[in-house]
Amino acid sequence: MTPEEYVEEVLALVERIPAGRVMSYGAIAECLRDRAGRGSARYVGTVLARYGSPVPWHRVVASNGRVVPGHEREALRRLRAEGTPLRDDRVDIARAMWWPEG
DNA sequence: GGGGTGACCCAGT
DNA sequence: TACTGGGCCACCC
């Protein structure tokens, strides 16, 4: 599997995250590990930094609920609009975390 | 082939 | 709660 194909897998998964829910970088990496056989939280972050603009990237947050560095305002604005559970400027991961079925 | 670099994660303080 | 150090992994010089 080429890096380009891995990017496509990441973007496709991010697109499946429902409004009002989120996934962490680590969760995405672990989820794709079965399909792609590789990948890490760090690399998922790198992929979204470079290629994430077309997808709902604001639904991807760090495992501690912190939103995307450098895009806090935009991310929080969109998350609030979707009704994502927030605690101050962080996502309430326990309530918002989403996993694909299967 | 070696080393630098992250939109990370976790445990300890 | 905030900061630190170590581990991590794939890409890219």
Per-residue flag: A69 CB under 7 A of strand B: yes
Nucleotides on strand B lying under 7 Å from protein C-beta: 6-10
Closest nucleotide (C1' vs CA) to A58 is: B7
Distance CA A26, CA A51 (A): 17
Q: What is the pLDDT of residues A1-35, one digit of tens each?
A: 898 999 999 999 999 999 999 999 999 999 999 89
pLDDT of res. A95: 96
Give all domains of chain A, ordered by start, each with its CATH number: 3-96 (1.10.10.10)
Q: What tens digit of pLDDT does each residue of A52-76 get?
A: 999 999 999 999 999 999 999 999 9
* Residue A102 confidence (pLDDT): 74
Q: From the Cβ of A57, is strand B under 7 Å away?
A: yes
